[in-house]
Structures are given as structure tokens and as C-alpha cells.
Structure 1
Amino acid sequence: GPAVVTGVERKERKRKPQAPFITSRLQQDAARKLRYSAKRTMALAQRLYEGVELGDEGPTGLITYMRTDSTRVSDDALAAVRQHILDAYGNDYLPEAPNTYANKGRTQDAHEAIRPTLMEWPPDRVAVALAEHPEGTELVKLYTLIWQRFVASQMVQAVYDATTVDIDRGAAQLRATGQIMKFAGYTKVYEVAETDDAKAEAAESADRLLPVLEVGDAITLESVRPEQHFTQPPPRFSEASLVKELEERGIGRPSTYASIMSTIVDRGYVEKKEGRFWPTELGVLVNGLLVESFPEIVSSAFTAEMESKLDKVEEGTVEWRKLLGEFYGPFSDELEKARAEMRNVKREEIPTEWVCEKCGKPMVIKWGRNGSFLACQGYPECRTTQEVVKNLDGTWEKVPVQTTDEICETCGAPMTIKRGRFGSFLACTKYPECKTTKAISLGVKCPRPGCGGYIAEKRSRRGKPFYGCSNWAKKQCDFVAWDKPVPTPCPICAAKFVVKKENKSGTTLRCLECDWKQGVDDSEESAA
């Protein structure tokens, strides 16, 4: 219907470039843009720093030291990058004076920011030199990220026109907002990725293109989209957001962020689902016991304060023996108290109303390496167990036994699905009399000639799922894939199966035998 423009407000907004990478920012952006873990990012950065073979140039270190919390850049590097900007983008993109960035309070400033060491080696030239390198693709992607961030940090601001239009339609007052880029500035080279959904939606909304309107213009409303926003609970931590949180709370140093995340995953305190950290039952239990017995030591405030005190030891303003004495005295007392009073979870038995189906004795909740489970009180004479889950209200519930059509090869009894340290598997229902187990088939036969096995999901020691052959132990079959095989033939080469990968962008199907691919993968997303 008809409506009238009652107000138009235009404001010019400028966005400054961000500082060159420090360790935490490199890990965050590599996680967001390249989907690299912090550990993988640091391993690749180490190779770029130590040097890679660049043809006739020989081993060449392409970046400065990668464990740093300083944004400082040498005068020679500033002069080189400013000349590159002038040559590649013109005078309009070069500020009159070099951009400077302040360091945070706890910065050690022992090393420069992470930057390319030689502006004569742009990413496209490095890509050619590393074409045959086994990690060439990943190294080039990370180097490109570092190169672009450094170049962008010394370019001019991006300029936008932010526009707000008020519209009167009788009883309804409506508003439309949008943003138009007037000058790309540093965004011509590098744009920070948003992973937070709310921020991404806000950015998308701000970038909507509006037509040129003036007060008094009559317009026709084709549709009105009501939008209501509610406060959302904070999302689960990703690697990028956890590094940011650690940095903001003053926990850890540039050299420890990656190991912190590796440790909590390796020890089973958290598991990663769709790029987010989820606490496990073990993690919740261990955290609860530590908070109960050592409330001050496991607090983030204590950790940050200790980091600050250790910095003072390094500076020579605090004597290290005195610092350790102040810490260890109270800690030793708490440790002895915990030895005497902390719950022995492995020996605990929670009574239940359930009765063992085999021997008639009561069933109890016990703790094992895979979490809580229901066990017969008659152990070790009776080894009956069953999975249980704890509800939000604190009550326990049995996990129904998952029956299958599989028959045990050893005794002929039916097989059931059990959950173990490395994921789900098939087990004989006659256990413990029969201890036969086997992997769960995905319905895909192993492609290796003469193998005769099938593909099943497995888990690495760090809990990451992968897919391998059921005959890896019997016949040493080496087939393995990180993407899930599905029993769909390839439309090009007629291979018996393709592999499926799922991420935020959607689902990708691809063939391992030929170049057929359907969907969007990470590399395409990163290049976009």
C-alpha cells in the first residue's frame, strides 16, 4: 500500500584496519576462515618460520616468530609494505603516515608482530614454489592470511554511508536501515570473519542496499517484515572464541593457547561437535571435584594473577622463592585436606530400584572410564551392565538396548550396540560368556581389491571420528577416510560409494576415484 518517507538520515562511517597478527588473533582468524585448529595453525606457522624450500632460493623463513603478543613492526618492514601498497593499489590506499597500534598491558614485546619477512614473496609466488610440497596447500593458505592481514594493517580506513529511512503509513511507523560502501580501503585486501551468528546477521542487515529516497517521497510498500530479537544464551565455545576468552581473562600466554585446547580434548574433558566444545560427563565431574576442593586455585582470577606475578619474576621485581613459598604453603594444606576428604568416585555406588535380570541382585550406578553405567552389585560373579543417562532433574534413566539383525560369528547369539571408549560397536548379547565384538558397518564395502571387509566408523585416540576397514587388524587393510562414506554410486565414474562432509555451509559429496564433487567445501568457502 501507499506510504510517505518522513525522515532520511545519512551518516558517513569509517572503519579502521586491524593490527597485524599476534598469536591469539592468528589462531582465531585461522579457525574462522580456514577451519584450522589452534594446534594445526601453530604447527604450520612453525614451518613457515623455520623455513621452506623455495626453489633456487633454498630454505627460506617466510614469517617472523609466531609466538608473540606484540603488534610492533620494524621500520624496514613498514617501509617495504608501504612501497608494496603504493605499487599494487595506488596512492589512494596509502595513509600519509604508517598506522601504529598500541600493545596491551601484559605485552612482553620480545618479538615483532607476525608478518611476512620478505615482501618479494607474495602468496601467488609462494604457491608456485610450494606446489609439490606435501603441506603446500595449507601452508599457502596460512601464509596468505598473514600476508593479507599485514598489508591491510597499513592501508587507509574503509568508508561507508549508513542510511536510516523512516516511513509513515498511517497508524504504522516503519524504519529501514542500510549501509553502502563508498571506499573499500583496507577491506580490498582483508576482511575479518564473523563467526557469531548474531553479529553475522547484524552485519548482513547493515549492508542492505537502499534506493535514494528523500523526505516527502511517496512509496509503495510491497511487504513489511516484522523483526523481533530476544536475548540468546551464549553459544558453546569454538576454538576462536575460547582463545579470545582466555586472552581477555589473562589466562595463558601465546605459547600455551594451543596446548590448553589440545589437553582438554585429549583428556576427554570436552568433545568437539560441529566445531564447538561440549563438556563431557568426565569434564563436569573433574571440574566439580576441583572447584569443591581447590576453589581459589581453579578460578580464572587466580590464574591471571599468577601469570602477572610470573611476569614480575621475569622482570626481576619479585623474588621467585618468595612467590613459590606464598603459593605452596596454602596449596599444600588444601592438597592434604583433599586427599582425606575428596570423593572417591570410582568406589562410589549409587543405589537404584532396578534389579539384575540375570541374578536378581540390586543394580547400582557406578563410574567407569566411559562415564556412568548401571552394574550388578554381584560383581565380579555377575558382570551384567547397561548404559544409563542422567536427566536434568537428577534422576537416572536406562538407555534402551539397541537390537540388531547381526548374529555373533562365534556363538550364533544376537548382537547388540554398545558404546565404548572409541565410539559405538557391536557386542554379543551372551557377554561375558562370549566376548565377540565387531565394528558397525556403514553399508559400504572396502574398495581395496581382495579385502572383503566393510567400512565402519572409528575414533582416534583424541576422539576424532574417522572411517576405516573392518579388516585392518586381520589383513592390515590400510583404507582410511576422514569424510563419511555413503553407499551412493559416483555419477561420473560409477564408483560404488562417495564420501560426505557436513559443515556450516551445507553438505559436500565427492568421489575418491575421480574429480566429481557436489556442494560447497571449506576451500571454496575460504576462497569466497
Structure 2
Amino acid sequence: MPKNLVIVESPAKARTIEKYLGRNFKVLASVGHVKDLPASSLGVDLDNDFEPKYSIIRGKKKIIDELKKVANSAENIYLAPDPDREGEAIAWHIAEELGKKNKGKIYRVLFNEITKKGIEDGIKNTGPINENRTNAQQARRILDRLVGYLVSPLLWKSLKYGLSAGRVQSVALRLLVEREEEIEKFKPEEYWLIDVTFKGGQKALLKARLEKKNGKKYRVPNGEEAEAVLAALKAGSYNVNEVIRKEVFERAPLPFITSKLQQEAARKLSFSAKRTMMLAQRLYEGIELGSEGPVGLITYMRTDSTRVSPDATNEARGYIEKQYGKEFLSKGVKGGSKKKNVQDAHEAIRPTSVAITPESVKKILDTDQYKLYKLIWDRFVSSNMADAVYDQNTIHIANGPYLLKSQGKVMKFPGFQTLYIEGVDESKEKDQEVIFDVKEGETLNPEKHDSKQMFTQPPARYSEATLVKTLEAEGIGRPSTYASIISTLIDREYANMEEKRFKPTELGRVVCSLLIANFDRIFEPKFTAGMEEDLDSVEAGELTWKGVLRDFYAKFKPELEKAEKQFSANLKIEMKCPVCEKDLTIKYGRNGNFVACTSYPECKFTSNYERLEDGSFKLVPKEEDKPSGIECEKCGKELVFKKTRFGEVLACPGYPECKNIKNYVTLPDGEIKILAAGEEIGTPCPKCEAGLTIKGGRNGMFIGCKNYPDCDFTANMEVNEQGDIIPKYDKVDENVKCEKCGKPMVLKKSRRGKFFACTGYPECKNAKSTIVLEDGTISVKE
């Protein structure tokens, strides 16, 4: 039995580390957290100063027993989960489960990079579990539990089961909704651009734009004034008023921190924050590099420090000098300004070795891993390169009371831009890429005059990059949580992505209205940012975790008690009921949002609605039920087609007196075939070769094996060209792997729909939403 036990949270990380440590070390994985607050209760004793009631996570007892068994015979136990708050909590809970008899031989190890050097340094520099860090983590966990567990049920009662409120998630939703309201309220204003083109004495033409009138900034408000300005300019003469020539320097961006990596991957690679972090985790934990075995390619990816080790800096500078020449080296080591709440425990995100170039591993990494590794590698190497240098000249041209401006910029030395150019969120008009040789006092001859009508634009909806940027700037959440915040907004259907931008759904807007109306303080961005500062102070040892919880609950409890008595919001719209002229209000039913009369039950008017671009509402009449031509065998009325959440059915219009409902399929010739439970379809079961029959379930009709429960085959149904009912087989992406434990993921079904689940269940409970690709393949929704 090896003398030393190392415990990490990921099997992939365990394989990489064991390769470097040798035969005297055994490396085991906890597969994430082993203990947590219970799923079936609050798990926090509010009467005993917020004492948490942790329990072993379902499926983890077997893992804990294995860890105990090896730990009891080991001489040293090294706890090496990720070097952050969550990792510290995992280490703390594992130490608790290993018991007092092992306490004296337990050491906390931090691996900033999964390389031979990084692992050896970690083992040499062990320490105790950081109590302040674990306290910060459990304070965050309890805060999130209090809000989620106590507020979410209020949404279930008012709207529907399964909705969630989150301490940070709901603030992010508020940002999306408030931005949408800004867009709807925005009134575009007309203005006109006036451009004049001059002969520049070269092949290129000098272009200048009207900027000032009588020495003040000037915007032409309408076409009539634009015509008057053009007439005045044409009647006057153009003289060069001022020429400003200077060198302009553009500094290389600093190496990545977590938030900047998420933003840049969204801009340049169109990766979601969730996908970026998943890929970065794999690059950190280790990738099989042929005969070398698994190698960690990047340093730890959850950091907000731009600090870099001297060894890594020297390696990068050596590479730059050899590859590009001395003139491409930066003049000194660059560092970012010290920001508030920066956790400086880790380096910036960088390659573990500059010698492992993206091209050298391109054939080994999958496409997305390669793209992200190249982004990280390029950014880090370029951060040690010289500034880009431009020659820039600004020309001010006078004509009577008007002043025009022309700006040209030409690259003099590319510097870091040889390797890397930072992405931008909004495109700007570029300077002319030419320098004009004109002198002050010189008269210029106009080639042509142009005017162009423009309108001011509303603020843009948030993209992944700009949402992450805003969350970071406002201090809402932490970079390590942004990916889960964003994916929750999508998964809960609080927002959709339209043209790579977030648009809140009607459900999201109703949820937001309810939460703000009843918990305005708790879901206010500045309050949430203040809580993040308090958690950082707990980690720094400046505040106690229970003190932070007491302060929070003192503010939260009065709002909660009030909301539990009356949880409502003003959801009235600016339209009157067409039946009784009373106000209409938004309601939510099992089939989604609708409007209803506020005088219910006296007036039972309801209608679907559409929200227009300016935020106003349009009532959408309900579709008339389409007759089927089939007689109801119970009451003789003609069955009609009705839409339900499970699809279209045939239903009796005599409801509720007659509740006859039929499932059906449409045959190729247009004939309607009514389905009957127990009907055999004439196709053998692909599992056991017995017959297949039509069955009825809570989610509608499906095909199942007649040998159930001995055979559990099930499938949806479809009609082939011959009119036969046959099983419909999903085309499933077979390459979906669990990023937590590395095992394959399979497609499962629940009452909420299809999802991917890890085959390592119950040890690994990872699950992912699905998306249907253009070719019909069901894959993971990022």
C-alpha cells in the first residue's frame, strides 16, 4: 500500500497527478463535493445562529468509505481539491469524514498548475485547511440557500413549480429586464452627418467630418438644416486650421483573468461562459499528449489576479526574442492596477509552458480545446511583447463658423499585434489608414460633399461578453459563478438568445417584476455587490461568517414575512378589457403568459398577447378550434383539434360535460388515425424481438415493448411513407462526455423533457440540457 494518499475532486486530475508522483503515492478522486446542505429541507438552523446541517450527498458514501480505507493505512494524506473556496470546502468536508484518528497526518495542498514542477512545489509547501476560506464558502452557500429555498416557493404558488429565485441570478435577470425596458422606452432622434472629401495630393482622398460650429460641438438635427449647412460650406472656402502629428502607442493586454477569458472567448470564439470554463477545466486538469501521458496545459482558471511568476515571464520573453527579435520585447514586466477585492492567491491564466505551442498540440486537442488554448497562449505571450506604435495626424479644417476634423493613423511598428489583437464588443468607425501631408493655413479644394441621415440607437442588449463585463464591473457575483448564473437564466427560460444577445422572456419579466416588487433591497445590484465584499472580508479574516449572515437575515426577514402574507406585483398593462372596460393584467398559466380582466370573476375575459418592440401590448385572438369531421362516440358532437402542452389531440367541444379526448396521427394521405392504448404496431422490439404496442403515459402516447417490465424498451412514434406507425429513434450525439468525471453521457427523459445524464450516476449527478442541431442530432446545449 502506498505511504501517501492524495485526494483531488476530479478523476481526470487524479490520473495526471499520479503520473508525476510515482509509486509511493496513491491519488483518488472525490468526484466533487461529498457533503452539502440537504436537498429536502432548508438545512440551516435559524434558531441556532445559522448552524448548517450538512449531510453526505447521495451516492457519495461508497466514495467516502474507499477514501477512509486507504487513508487509515497511509502515513500522509494530502487534500488537493482546486485552490479556491469550493475546493477548500471539499477539503474541509473530506477531512471531517476521515475522522480524528487521521487528523494529525492531513495536509492541504494547492496546485496552481498540473505539471511536474507545480505538483512537486505543492507537495513541498503544504499547510492547514484555510478556515477563513471555508467560512467564506459556507457563508455564501447558506446565503444562497436562504434566498433560493425561502423565495422560490413563492414563485411556485404564483406562477408554476420548478421556477427559482437566486441571490445573484435574480440580480442578473434584473439587469436583462431593465435593459429591455430601456430599449422599449427609447425614442430615436434624427441627426445628419456632413462629410467632405478633398484631394489629398496622393492617390487617397482626404475625408473630413463636420464636428463644431462657432467653437462648440454641433449636431445637425434634420434634413432641412443639413441642406443649409451644405450650401454654406459650398459657398465658403476650406483652410487648414491646425495639424497635430504624434506617435500613438497601444499597449499589449494583460494575461487573462477568469472574467476576461470568458469575455474574449465569447467575442472571438462564440463560446458561452459555461463552455469556456468547461474547456479550461480540461486543459488545467490534463490532456493526454501521446507518450508523455496527461499534461496540464494551463494554470488554474479561476483567478482575478494578473500576476505571473518570474520563471513563466522569462520563458515567454526568451521565446519572443528567439522568434521575433529583441525589438519585439516589452521594455519591462507589465502589471495591472490593483483593483478592489482582487484575490491574489493564484497567477493569471497562462500556458504551463510556452514551449508547448498551439500548433504542437493541434492534432491532439479537439477543435474547441485547441481554439481556447491558442487564445490563452497567444494572449500570454503577447502580454510580454512591445507596444504597437502608430503615426497619427489630426487635421482641423475651418470654413466660416464650421470646423471639420480628419484623422489618419498608420502603423509604424506592429509590436504585440503581430500575434494578438483584442476583441471588441461594439465596432467603431476606423481612422483613415493614411497620413496626409498638409500644412496649417493651406487652402483645400473639395472633391465632393455628402450628407447622411442617421438616428440615435437604443442601448444594445447584453451579449455574453458584455453581461460578464457588467457583472464584474458592478461586483455582482464572482467570475467563477458567471457561467452557472448565465446558464440558469437560459435553462429556466427566463431569457433567450437572439442574434447572440440576451432577450428576457415574458416569464423572465414576470418573475423579475414579482421579485423586485417584494424584495427590492435583496435583489438590488449594489446590495448584492456589498454582500460579495462582505464574503471577501470573511476570507480575509476581517468579518465573521455568522456576523455576515446575521446582518443579511435582519434585512431579509421583514421582506420575506411580508411577501409570505401577500406575494404580488402590479402587472397591469396599458389596455382596457374589451368586455367591461376594466384594467387588464398579466397572468401566468400552465401554457404560459396571458392577460386577464382585473374584475374576475365578474368578468372572465382572457387573451393571449404579444409585446411589441416599443413595449406596448397587442391582444392576440385565440385560434378557433378546427373541426375534425369525426364524431364523438360518447355525445355525438364533432371532435375538434386542440393544442395541449403534450401536443395536439382530438377533444370533444362538449367539455366539461363530455371529457372525451383522443390521441391521433396523420397518415400520408391526410387521413386521421385515432390511437388506442394496447394496439400492436407490427414491428418487433429491437431489444427482445417481442411485439411493440402503443402505450399511454402522463406525457402522451408512446411505443413500448409488450414484454414490459422484463423489457424496458420505449420510443416515440412516427408514421412512415406507407402509413405504418413505427418507433422514432432519436439521432443522438454519441461524443458527449461528462466534464466532471470523464464518463459518457446518455440521453434521458423526464417530465420536463430530454436531458443528458452522466453514466457515473449516482456518484456523479451531472446533467445537461439538450439542443437539436440543424441535421436533427440531439446534442448538449451550451
- The superposition leaves residues 318-373 of structure 1 with CA deviations (integer Å, 9 ceiling, x where unpaired) of 12222212221332222111100212999xxx994459xxxxxxx99742144322
Which of residues 112, 122, 145 in structure 1 aligns to 2:375? 145
Cα drift, residue 258 of structure 1: 0.6
Give the 5 Å matches for 1:167-182.
Answer: 167=397, 174-182=404-412
CA pair 268-437 structure 1, distance change in 2 beyond 3 A: farther
Q: Distance in 1 between matches of 2:498 and 2:645?
A: 18
Which of residues 79, 88, 102 in structure 1 aligns to 2:314? 79
User: CA contact under 8 A between 2:518 and 2:559: conserved in structure 1?
Assistant: yes
Cα drift, residue 173 of structure 1: 5.1
- The superposition leaves residues 272-330 of structure 1 with CA deviations (integer Å, 9 ceiling, x where unpaired) of 11111111222222222222222211111111111111111112121222221222133
Which of residues 265, 278, 296 in structure 2 aligns to 1:43? 278
Which of residues 395, 409, 426 in structure 2 aligns to 1:165? 395
Residue 121 in structure 1 maps to residue 356 in structure 2 = yes
Structure 2 partner of 1:317: 542
SS at match of 1:177: strand
Query: Aligned-residue CA RMSD in angstroms?
Result: 4.2
Structure 2 runs not aligned, ≥5 long:
1-197, 200-236, 633-637, 669-682, 684-715, 720-724, 734-772, 776-782
Cα drift, residue 256 of structure 1: 0.4
Residue 91 in structure 1 maps to residue 326 in structure 2 = yes
CA pair 315-367 structure 1, distance change in 2 beyond 3 A: same
Structure 2 partner of 1:9: 244
User: CA contact under 8 A between 1:158 and 1:183: conserved in structure 2?
Assistant: yes
Q: Distance in 1 between matches of 2:402 and 2:534?
A: 60
Q: Distance in 1 between matches of 2:630 and 2:266?
A: 45
AA in 2 matched with 1:139: Q
Which of residues 728, 741, 744 in structure 2 aligns to 1:476? 728
User: CA contact under 8 A between 2:579 and 2:605: conserved in structure 1?
Assistant: no
Q: Distance in 2 between matches of 1:167 and 1:375?
A: 62
- The superposition leaves residues 108-143 of structure 1 with CA deviations (integer Å, 9 ceiling, x where unpaired) of 11111000001111111110223xxxxx00000000
TM-score normalised by the chain length of structure 1: 0.70
User: CA contact under 8 A between 1:426 and 1:438: conserved in structure 2?
Assistant: no
CA pair 319-167 structure 1, distance change in 2 beyond 3 A: closer
Q: Distance in 1 between matches of 2:282 and 2:438?
A: 55
User: Would you say how many aligned residue pairs link Structure 1 and Structure 2?
Assistant: 430
Q: Distance in 2 between matches of 1:163 and 1:420?
A: 64
Q: Distance in 2 between matches of 1:277 and 1:91?
A: 45
Cα drift, residue 40 of structure 1: 0.5
Task: State the percentage of identical aligned residues.
Answer: 43
Which of residues 620, 638, 643 in structure 2 aligns to 1:399? 620
TM-score normalised by the chain length of structure 2: 0.49
Structure 2 partner of 1:201: 428
- The superposition leaves residues 163-220 of structure 1 with CA deviations (integer Å, 9 ceiling, x where unpaired) of 2234466787543222111111111111111121xxx123x2x254344434466655
Q: Distance in 2 between matches of 1:156 and 1:410?
A: 82
Q: Distance in 1 between matches of 2:338 and 2:537?
A: 18
- The superposition leaves residues 436-495 of structure 1 with CA deviations (integer Å, 9 ceiling, x where unpaired) of 5889x9xxxxxxxx9xxxxxxxxxxxxxxxxxx9849952333479xxxxxxxxxxxxxx
Which of residues 110, 116, 119 in structure 1 aligns to 2:345? 110
User: CA contact under 8 A between 1:71 and 1:103: conserved in structure 2?
Assistant: no
Cα drift, residue 70 of structure 1: 0.5
Q: Which has the larger radius of gyration?
A: 2
Give the 5 Å matches for 1:95-494.
Answer: 95-130=330-365, 136-167=366-397, 174-196=404-426, 200-202=427-429, 204=430, 206-215=431-440, 220-226=445-451, 231-343=456-568, 352-354=577-579, 366-373=587-594, 387-389=608-610, 397-400=618-621, 434=661, 436=663, 471=718, 475-479=727-731
- The superposition leaves residues 39-97 of structure 1 with CA deviations (integer Å, 9 ceiling, x where unpaired) of 00000001111111111211111000111000010011001000011111111110232
- The superposition leaves residues 148-176 of structure 1 with CA deviations (integer Å, 9 ceiling, x where unpaired) of 11011111111112222344667875432
Q: Distance in 2 between matches of 1:279 and 1:99?
A: 40
Q: Distance in 2 between matches of 1:474 and 1:306?
A: 57
CA pair 393-228 structure 1, distance change in 2 beyond 3 A: closer
CA pair 74-10 structure 1, distance change in 2 beyond 3 A: same
RCO (CA 8 Å, sep 6+): is it higher in 1 or 2?
A: 2
CA pair 414-201 structure 1, distance change in 2 beyond 3 A: farther
CA pair 478-394 structure 1, distance change in 2 beyond 3 A: closer
Structure 1 runs not aligned, ≥5 long:
131-135, 356-362, 442-449, 451-468, 482-509, 513-528
- The superposition leaves residues 388-428 of structure 1 with CA deviations (integer Å, 9 ceiling, x where unpaired) of 23569998643245689997999997868x6969xxx7666
Q: Distance in 1 between matches of 2:391 and 2:447?
A: 25
CA pair 14-341 structure 1, distance change in 2 beyond 3 A: same
CA pair 207-38 structure 1, distance change in 2 beyond 3 A: farther
Q: Distance in 2 between matches of 1:396 and 1:438?
A: 36
CA pair 58-257 structure 1, distance change in 2 beyond 3 A: same
